[in-house]
Chains A and B, each alone.
Chain A
Amino acid sequence: MAEDYIVELKGICKRFGGIDALKDVDLQLRRGEIMGIVGDNGAGKSTLMKVLSGAYVADEGEIWVNGKHVHIRNPQDSSNLGIGMIYQDLALFNNFDVTKNIFVGREYTKGPLGMFLDKKRMNKKAEELIKELKVDIKSLRQSVMTMSGGQRQMVACARAIAFESKVLIMDEPTAALGVTEANKLLGLIRNLADSGLSILLITQRIPDILAIADRVFVLKGGQRQGVLNVGEITLDDVVSLIIKGKDNSVSQPVDVQYKSFG
């Protein structure tokens, strides 16, 4: 029932050179849910999300958004479908202030043929977004270079939700944050989901997922291992699936080594 899901990925494959980064991956995202995407380094989490955001194009497979088969060839296509992604490296412009960072690539314009920037409208919208996200940014004209990790994350967030996004992809948003900032951000993500946004959250911090996500999607070696309902599981269940995979195989020495770390 494709209509039940806002995003559906079917049989996604992506190869880099001779390496299969993603092998026949299926994913279904429900409306208004937060789905955690977990897996070890190199499991294919970011690659899968980049396929959805248009940064990569899948070699095989289909993408369905709102029950419609779509083709995402570049970030613009994805953004037009209402999918916003916040990248791990943030993809911010250090030489720009808050407003410009939010609007680069999708500027409001006015005048004949939309020749001129509508700075008034952009500033107003930016102010609204910052208020909505409850960020303590002193001035919209502050350069993002001078901001803390949390503030930068918020600017990236504002950028991603500024354009009627329906799906938000976040790549390790809490990775570089302190405890307080991370908790604040997690609260914000939950609020966004409660207000109707569907969120895909990549993270290495599984407790984060257990705290705010509805379901968790586990990848290993570029393959889907399973989807767990957060209400029914413990940390160990997730870790075990990440390390052992669905076949429960610990035959490879690499896995054993990981286990001792886990």
Chain B
Amino acid sequence: MTDQRHSDGQGPATGDTAAATAPASPQGRGGLSGVNWGVLRKYAVVLVLLLLVLLFSLVNPQFFSGRNFYNIVTQNTYFIIVAIGLAFVLISGGIDLSVGYQMSLVGVIMAMGMTKWGMPVWLALIVGLALGTFLGLLNGVIVTRLRTFPLIVTLATSVVFQGVSYMISKAGTYRSYPQSFQDITKLRLLGLPLDVYLTVVIIIIVSVIFYQTKIGTRVVALGGNEEALRLAGINTKRFKMLIYTTCGFFTAIATIVMVSKANSMQSSFGPGTEFTALTAAIVGGVSFLGGEGNIPALVAGVFVLAVLGNGMQLAGWSSYAQFIVRGIILLGAVAFDEYQKSLRLRTKHR
């Protein structure tokens, strides 16, 4: 249960119960040398989340209500799922800007399958998952074959996916799906819709993958030093393809949730998700350069954006004003990431 991140040169993170259970870890160097950046970074996002909740509760009494919190959670399940898929890519040192248009294409195919081509729900789900996985694999293959920046590759594939999505949908809207498809997000168990449970299960499984399996360790290792991982005997190319494929698979799951929730689909649904997911990941402590990140903080990152959006909406801000705030948040999060890295280096050379 060791920590994924490289920031705890100061010894075991005090708040990390996992660290305390590691039997062979001798005493760390303690926190006397000042702030423990590892712990601060890990919990900064939770702190920000709590502050935002407090702030909006004071500003607007409507904010602090069970009803509103229910909305915030249920409206953001698919963002969490996309962000988790994207986290695999980001932590491994890559990036996938195409997840938004992957959703557009996968969603349109599933929606048209059910409403126009007479696919049963189970078939539409399988086709959607298979297509999403394939699009992820496609990104992975291109990134590893071209050996070029994934930023550009996925920007390019994103535009391709957009074109294909609009060509197939003819810019039409496809709605009214079979009840069993809608049930994915409408059927409730103990007061919560099924997709909330699905999301929780995904969070748990992926957390276990990152902290308890060699796959997770190697994703982080790839982001830390690709050449070293290759020399350690790992086929890094194939591994990278697997990572992009995984991202595509999770994006497809998120698409299913999104389409079911909206009970309507057109090619413009999905794009923009990549920005939210990317911002949430970075706010949640995933390094833009790879090699670090943890899943619970990432989920908190999604909620920081969600609460902010919700609060601004309740406060009557226009969605354009919200765009400005979101952009500034991404800049701020990246700046914070760099800042605390430079601090850490300074500590090292002291």
Binds A, one of B21-29, B49-57, B73-81, B270-278: B21-29
Contacts A/B (CB < 8 Å), 9 sampled: A54-B233, A79-B233, A92-B228, A100-B2, A104-B228, A123-B23, A139-B11, A140-B26, A141-B3
B9's partner among A92, A109, A143 (CB-CB below 8 A) is A143
User: CA A62 – CA B220 in complex, angstroms?
Assistant: 36
B136 on interface, CB distance cutoff 8 Å:
no
Contact yes or no, A116 B224, CB < 8 A = no
Contact yes or no, A104 B232, CB < 8 A = yes
User: CA A83 – CA B344 in complex, angstroms?
Assistant: 36
Q: Using known A-B contacts A100-B217, A105-B233, A123-B25, determine if residue A141 contacts B8 with beta carbons closer than 8 Å.
A: yes
B230 on interface, CB distance cutoff 8 Å:
yes
Q: Using known A-B contacts A106-B233, A127-B24, A140-B26, determine if residue A145 contacts B6 with beta carbons closer than 8 Å.
A: yes
Smallest CB separation, A31 vs chain B (Å): 24
Contact yes or no, B24 A107, CB < 8 A = no
Contact yes or no, A75 B231, CB < 8 A = yes
A141's partner among B2, B223, B224, B292 (CB-CB below 8 A) is B2
Contact yes or no, B26 A95, CB < 8 A = no
Contact yes or no, A99 B2, CB < 8 A = yes
User: CA A53 – CA B232 in complex, angstroms?
Assistant: 10
Contact yes or no, A143 B224, CB < 8 A = no
Contact yes or no, A105 B24, CB < 8 A = no
B291 on interface, CB distance cutoff 8 Å:
yes
Max chain B Cβ within 10 angstroms of own Cβ: one of A53, A124, A126, A140:
A140
Interface residues of B in 210-229 (CB under 8 A from A): 212-214, 217-218, 220-221, 223-225, 227-229
B335 on interface, CB distance cutoff 8 Å:
no
List chain A residues, Cβ under 8 A from B12. Answer: 139, 141
A146 on interface, CB distance cutoff 8 Å:
yes
Question: 4 closest A-B pairs (Cβ-Cβ)?
Answer: A105-B232, A76-B233, A123-B24, A95-B6
User: CA A93 – CA B234 in complex, angstroms?
Assistant: 14
Identity of the chain B residue whose Cβ is nearest the Cβ of A108 in the assembled complex: B214
B261 on interface, CB distance cutoff 8 Å:
no
A96 on interface, CB distance cutoff 8 Å:
yes
B214's partner among A76, A117, A145 (CB-CB below 8 A) is A117
B221's partner among A74, A96, A143 (CB-CB below 8 A) is A96
B-contact 0/1 string along A94-136, CB 8 Å cutoff:
1111011000111101000001110110011011000000000
**Count, chain B residues at interface, CB 8 A:** 43
List chain B residues, Cβ under 8 A from A141. Answer: 2-3, 8, 11-12, 19, 22, 25, 28
A55 on interface, CB distance cutoff 8 Å:
yes
Max chain A Cβ within 10 angstroms of own Cβ: one of B2, B29, B292:
B2
B5 on interface, CB distance cutoff 8 Å:
yes
A64 on interface, CB distance cutoff 8 Å:
no
Contact yes or no, A143 B24, CB < 8 A = no
Report A's interface with B, CB cutoff 8 A. 53-55, 74-76, 79, 85, 87, 91-97, 99-100, 104-107, 109, 115-117, 119-120, 123-124, 126-127, 138-143, 145-146
Contact yes or no, B218 A97, CB < 8 A = no
B1 on interface, CB distance cutoff 8 Å:
yes
B279 on interface, CB distance cutoff 8 Å:
no
Contact yes or no, A95 B291, CB < 8 A = yes
Smallest CB separation, A89 vs chain B (Å): 8
Q: Using known A-B contacts A117-B212, A123-B22, determine if residue A143 contacts B6 with beta carbons closer than 8 Å.
A: yes
B213's partner among A116, A140, A145 (CB-CB below 8 A) is A116
User: CA A129 – CA B64 in complex, angstroms?
Assistant: 55
Identity of the chain A residue whose Cβ is nearest the Cβ of B216 in the assembled complex: A117
Q: Using known A-B contacts A107-B217, A109-B214, A139-B27, determine if residue A95 contacts B224 with beta carbons closer than 8 Å.
A: yes
Smallest CB separation, A13 vs chain B (Å): 22
List chain B residues, Cβ under 8 A from A95. Answer: 5-6, 220-221, 223-225, 291-292
Smallest CB separation, A73 vs chain B (Å): 11
Contact yes or no, B232 A116, CB < 8 A = no
B67 on interface, CB distance cutoff 8 Å:
no
B7 on interface, CB distance cutoff 8 Å:
yes
Q: Using known A-B contacts A95-B223, A104-B232, determine if residue A142 contacts B22 with beta carbons closer than 8 Å.
A: no
Smallest CB separation, A22 vs chain B (Å): 19
Q: Using known A-B contacts A115-B213, A117-B217, determine if residue A92 contacts B27 with beta carbons closer than 8 Å.
A: no
List chain A residues, Cβ under 8 A from B25. Answer: 123, 139-141
List chain A residues, Cβ under 8 A from B24. Answer: 99, 120, 123-124, 126-127, 140
Contact yes or no, A145 B9, CB < 8 A = yes
User: CA A79 – CA B24 in complex, angstroms?
Assistant: 27
List chain B residues, Cβ under 8 A from A75. Answer: 230-233
Smallest CB separation, B286 vs chain A (Å): 12
B348 on interface, CB distance cutoff 8 Å:
yes
Identity of the chain B residue whose Cβ is nearest the Cβ of A145 in the assembled complex: B6
User: CA A105 – CA B230 in complex, angstroms?
Assistant: 9
Identity of the chain A residue whose Cβ is nearest the Cβ of B228 in the assembled complex: A91
List chain A residues, Cβ under 8 A from B11. Answer: 139, 141-142
User: CA A142 – CA B22 in complex, angstroms?
Assistant: 13
